[in-house]
Amino acid sequence: MTTLSRRSLLVGTAAAAAAGGIFGLGDLARSADAGRGADTGGPLRIGYLPITDAAPLLMAHSAALYPAGLVSAAKPVMFRSWAALGEAFVTGKVDVVHLLMPMAVQLRYALGGGVRVLGWNHTNGSALTVAPHITEVADLAGTQVAVPFWWSIHNIVLQQLLRAHGLRPVVRRSASRAARTVELIVMSPSDMVPALANRSIGGYVVADPFNAVAQIKKIGHIHTFLGDVWRDHACCALITRDDVIAQRPNAIQHVTDAVVGAQLLLNADRIAAAKALGGGKYLPQPVPAVQLALTYPDPPYRLNHPDWQPQRLGFTPFPFASFTHRLIEAMNETVIDGDRRFLERLDPAQVHDELVDDQFVRAAMAQQGGPAAFGLAASLRREEQVHAS
């Protein structure tokens, strides 16, 4: 692994420090080596953020799908921000996590973190939630909108949506209604609901169940499901490190098998899943909020592409190369507060092969009946559909 200072992990994410900090001082490489050098083949440790994106990892534990001895029997370790989860992952405190796909790209190419995508944890599952008085995207002009991380699909899709409605996203600059600008700020998901309630922000874009919570508490409403802009996009991927794959390939296969099996369980009975995960069992949010996030009904939600079922959190594990290609292109068009020079040396057509190792998820899907069991084409190919208007 490339030697990195923890300060270097601030690259491209400076504002995240103000939103709860990311990667404190000291030498990251030294702490990472200390955590990995003593690898004795012990149980793998799972880390997660308390959002429904983590459902497959959590359901695998709840249903006892992880094999004893290969994965820690203890509950997966919960973190409160992407910054904290990223630091724990890179420094070897946890071995397998769900991580934002754009963040995985940043960690591998900007910071040399040895990140490897095993498969997708889920698709869709995020939305733009706004204050009650906002009815159109254009009404966000002159406001602040919170995103969970600069390199997140939430920030990327939000900016596509804003531009499609004649708005200009800005960072570190006050928004102006006259200039039709929207100031983007990084905020931990748990802080977004109270910020919207006290009207310090005009809206936020984030994973569920924080969108569902705003609706249940009647402090805001869902304006746009991100899956209505980018069909079945990957938000979080199942992530490990190169060194873990090299040292523990059998354990990684079993973890992938468990997560893929959990995705089928989630699809089979979402109400039961909400009861198993919510109310403090794994997710701190109440069961009704988790259940709503897993089972959003059809309209009254305003949908531009109802046939896409954009409100539905999807559990399909295969990582499509077409998505990775389009993601790198979209990252190049996205405004962030930080260094983005690593993108200049990336070829969108090559990143997928370098970042993704799909051998484990292919084997896991084969055990469960193949692509058809997940509603996927046998070719495991697709064309990306992105419509922000």
Place domain 126-228 in its CATH homologous superfamily: Periplasmic binding protein-like II (3.40.190.10)
Looking at domain 6-124+233-374, its CATH class is alpha beta
- 7: confidence class by pLDDT, cuts 50, 70, 90: very low
pLDDT of residue 112: 84
Mean of pLDDT values over 315-336: 97
Lowest mean pLDDT among 1-15, 64-78, 340-354: 1-15
Mean of pLDDT values over 306-311: 94
Does pTM surpass 0.85? yes
CA distance 229 to 217: 26
- Considering only CA atoms, give the Rg of the chain: 20
Per residue in 107-149, pLDDT (tens digit) is 999 988 799 999 999 999 999 999 999 999 999 999 999 999 9
pLDDT of residue 35: 39
User: Average pLDDT over the chain, rounded to whole?
Assistant: 89
Per residue in 71-90, pLDDT (tens digit) is 999 999 999 889 899 999 99
pLDDT of residue 38: 34
Domain with CATH 3.40.190.10 in the chain: 6-124+233-374, 126-228
